Structure 1
């Protein structure tokens, strides 16, 4: 029989201490909650003969929570190999369905999308999104539908994607200049790539002032954003024990205090930015303004059924930064990692870029990008093996559904393991091998129509920023390949580049990516 400390081995240290200290309280409260939820499951399943999905044995209090380590997408893939691609877990007291195949993902995100596309309540996202006034974490209802329509039409349409080219070109020029000054010494690409993504999103959101010394609080804002991202992805006892005991653990562990501090700092920053944009003395930019200007226009002029408020402006700004920086940066770094480890693919992609762009340009231009089909295959293959949100964002069932022949009751949390689906041998030959050529004769894409490749999700909850993200993660590597030759530091071989993962909401490289750039001069 395992001891309580052994059962907690997969959890962070602060969780272990809190749960052990409150074990008696959790035992009692969770026991009654478990009885109630089991009764609810039996009622929701319609009969005692309901066919529930298979899953591993559960332990008292934790359920299956102890089976999740620092890389839960890998743990869940291993469980799927033993129990099948539709697996039922109980994380704490919360019933959780994990789908790990293209067929199961299709049923969740297409066949039963309307019944599986809500969001489970979570105290961290609720607080930081101004009581779910954003799009990413809001539950599925009429409010969410109108908010998403506003977001897509006003902020993420192809018109807006094209209008943001000035920011991409500006930040890529800065990146190329910085790398040129550093070459041929080894450089840590992480800092450069995250700085580029932050610069693009920040310039689109706040205007050109974001990249200047006049934006005095940029570094502090970046630090608080990092904390907010960490908070969104952190373990919260209330997420898995939605009762008084769970809330008590969060409070005693300082999670509630930290959440309020982060919210307060973000809110103060957003208030300052909005006040600056509403200053009558401020000159409106020639291009019609930045993201904040557009959001303020929606706030002041919207006449739909949705009451768009000042808090909506702040929630959407936060969504834009949290969704736009990490995901793009992580994808670019994984792409460069895979390219450097695969010299044949690197040469093929580099030859394509340089042949398409020619020898008379300082860098890749926006009009050159459509002529780079192999580079797009590289991006697709990177997203297959390294989707930044490995489990996507959790979904929740709003009514009883049947997934791959199994009965799944309402109020079940649903995880789509995009990482496992992208490596499923049933869908992919040589599934663990980085080979962009596999897409040469394949129509599979990540636009939500092909469920063996779902890095952006699918259905109603597909990432609304897909077009914006796709453009960023293609244009930047194109310029890195056009402007520089790349090598590993002296004493290393390409296969020595570590591919270990770390992270929470997005999973990135555990070790910094250190490469040697050499400025390429066209003949």
Structure 2
């Protein structure tokens, strides 16, 4: 029934618009039957499906799902139109009904705020001061170093055993961001059990999926009257978020910040002192920042390890560069920017394996004309960063892993070059891009400097499976299981 309505509604809308209001000059795109043909691929591999549609209809295309107009940018020039020329107009976000049913979501988001309003600016400013700015990153350098060495010691204790790299990366990153936000760890990484990591990873995946994926009710508001499941999903997610952050917030509120061991205020201190945010709102923004700092960065560290293990000559070059740069036995993040080839490998991984292939969807806050086409208010705008980053018109040998392309290149990850948008660009660019890059450097640099890595049972690393799985973000389908061997000459005493 829902699928039939999803396909019937666009026909009715087109009829009404054309005969009653005059046809709008929407960008070209597939008709209802073509959308039906592509529907499965649009759900399970939308970045690939939209890349194929762009080859048919051009780099600016549109189509309908239910009564929702979808607009897709598939070239650097069109991405620039949406994210620079008309950045303010397209700075809105679509909020799935599940997210809107989550208590405390109103005015409590940095990433999913429907518009760039007062609360969005305040939270982003607090995050900038505490976590994202150059000064904050320098202040928090000891946190990254401490948590990374916790990771190194954890892996050292498991030498010769098979480790699940994604679990370890996630736990380390979660402790880094939690320490920066609330001055405490989420996990005891020295423990051998992985159940607590897996529960939190499951919650992160659940929140990502339910807060960024539109369902039938979002495309067909007519179904809202019989939607009995969205609120249940939201309340289930709310209980888990509250269980994660509620006691931390309450303890800090009761202590009035006196339990904070740091001499400076952290993010939690400042939002509590502001007094305008409820416990639910604070829990939601902490969850959002945790997700932003862990999910995409974990994905990138895993893919970077995959690509280097599959290319042993590149791996040797990175190791030699680290050895020549590091002073003594201790990895120092202040020296890592000198490792230019290692940096190029990170940039190439972010190009070939864009963590969020369609970025976070934009919303038109008002009707706007782009390239002589009308983009109606509340249209959903997708930027196919994955498709652009693999387009042979802009990248030579686009589907191959070639870090050399970034050596002596002016292309950076800060969204100033529209053929390369791993963290987005414009007003809604990921605020933590620089922190993410530092974390990737420290994590993978430590993995390579302190350990040798092999596949279980001595398998050839060139056989590592590289199939991807799309769940809003684009992950390695099968877990990366590796066996570490200590490089004793590099371990600090």
After TM superposition, the score normalised by the length of structure 1 is: 0.84
In the alignment, which of 220, 224, 227 is matched to residue 206 of structure 2?
227
Query: 1:41/1:198 Cα in 2 relative to 1: closer, same or farther (>3 Å)?
Result: farther
**C-alpha contact (below 8 Å) 1:85/1:100 kept by paired residues:** yes
Query: 1:200/1:399 Cα in 2 relative to 1: closer, same or farther (>3 Å)?
Result: same
Residue aligning to 1:384: 351
In the alignment, which of 309, 319, 339 is matched to residue 372 of structure 1?
339
Tell me the distance in 2 between the aligned counterparts of 1:486 and 1:41: 62
Matched residue of 1:515: which SS?
Answer: strand
CA RMSD in angstroms comes to 2.9
**C-alpha contact (below 8 Å) 2:10/2:64 kept by paired residues:** no
Tell me the distance in 2 between the aligned counterparts of 1:374 and 1:218: 36
**C-alpha contact (below 8 Å) 2:304/2:349 kept by paired residues:** yes
In the alignment, which of 407, 426, 431 is matched to residue 440 of structure 1?
407
Tell me the distance in 1 between the aligned counterparts of 2:141 and 2:20: 54
- The structural deviation recorded for 1:89 is 1.8
Residue aligning to 1:240: 219
Query: 1:190/1:101 Cα in 2 relative to 1: closer, same or farther (>3 Å)?
Result: same
- The structural deviation recorded for 1:446 is 1.3
Tell me the distance in 1 between the aligned counterparts of 2:480 and 2:173: 16
Residue aligning to 1:420: 387
> Is 1:264–2:239 an aligned residue pair?
yes
**C-alpha contact (below 8 Å) 1:125/1:132 kept by paired residues:** no
- The structural deviation recorded for 1:58 is 1.0
- The structural deviation recorded for 1:93 is 2.3
Residue aligning to 1:302: none
Residue aligning to 1:347: 316
Residue aligning to 1:175: 151
- The structural deviation recorded for 1:468 is 1.5
Tell me the distance in 2 between the aligned counterparts of 1:443 and 1:289: 37
Q: Which has the larger displacement, 485-494 or 393-402? A: 485-494
Residue aligning to 1:71: 45
Residue aligning to 2:486: 519
What are the superposed Cα offsets for residues 49-108 of structure 1, whole Å, 9 maximum, x if unpaired? Answer: x54322122139969644414221112112212222212121232110111111111111
**C-alpha contact (below 8 Å) 2:306/2:464 kept by paired residues:** yes
In the alignment, which of 280, 284, 289 is matched to residue 320 of structure 1?
289
Residue aligning to 1:117: 91
- The structural deviation recorded for 1:389 is 0.9
What are the superposed Cα offsets for residues 17-65 of structure 1, whole Å, 9 maximum, x if unpaired? Answer: x736xx5xx37xx856764576568999xx64x5432212213996964
Tell me the distance in 2 between the aligned counterparts of 1:154 and 1:197: 16
**C-alpha contact (below 8 Å) 1:54/1:86 kept by paired residues:** yes
Matched residue of 1:182: which SS?
Answer: coil
Tell me the distance in 2 between the aligned counterparts of 1:238 and 1:255: 9
Query: 1:37/1:117 Cα in 2 relative to 1: closer, same or farther (>3 Å)?
Result: farther
Tell me the distance in 2 between the aligned counterparts of 1:310 and 1:91: 36
Tell me the distance in 2 between the aligned counterparts of 1:123 and 1:435: 42
Residue aligning to 1:203: 179
> Is 1:134–2:105 an aligned residue pair?
no
**C-alpha contact (below 8 Å) 1:237/1:247 kept by paired residues:** no
- The structural deviation recorded for 1:206 is 3.0
What are the superposed Cα offsets for residues 206-253 of structure 1, whole Å, 9 maximum, x if unpaired? Answer: 32353459x9x9666555444323322445212222x131563x42xx
- The structural deviation recorded for 1:131 is 2.5
In the alignment, which of 72, 76, 82 is matched to residue 108 of structure 1?
82
Structure 2 unaligned residues grouped into runs of 5+: none
In the alignment, which of 275, 298, 304 is matched to residue 329 of structure 1?
298
Tell me the distance in 2 between the aligned counterparts of 1:352 and 1:295: 42
Query: 1:234/1:126 Cα in 2 relative to 1: closer, same or farther (>3 Å)?
Result: same
Q: Which has the larger displacement, 264-273 or 434-443? A: 264-273
Would you say how many aligned residue pairs link Structure 1 and Structure 2?
482
**C-alpha contact (below 8 Å) 2:165/2:481 kept by paired residues:** yes
- The structural deviation recorded for 1:162 is 2.2
- The structural deviation recorded for 1:298 is 2.9
> Is 1:465–2:444 an aligned residue pair?
no
**C-alpha contact (below 8 Å) 2:96/2:214 kept by paired residues:** no
What are the superposed Cα offsets for residues 369-399 of structure 1, whole Å, 9 maximum, x if unpaired? Answer: 2222211111110110111111111111123
Tell me the distance in 2 between the aligned counterparts of 1:436 and 1:67: 30
Matched residue of 1:114: which SS?
Answer: coil
Residue aligning to 2:166: 190
Tell me the distance in 1 between the aligned counterparts of 2:248 and 2:108: 18
Query: 1:233/1:138 Cα in 2 relative to 1: closer, same or farther (>3 Å)?
Result: closer
Structure 1 unaligned residues grouped into runs of 5+: 1-17, 300-306
**C-alpha contact (below 8 Å) 1:221/1:266 kept by paired residues:** no
- The structural deviation recorded for 1:438 is 0.4
**C-alpha contact (below 8 Å) 1:63/1:93 kept by paired residues:** no
Tell me the distance in 1 between the aligned counterparts of 2:9 and 2:344: 52
Query: 1:193/1:101 Cα in 2 relative to 1: closer, same or farther (>3 Å)?
Result: same
Tell me the distance in 1 between the aligned counterparts of 2:18 and 2:144: 50
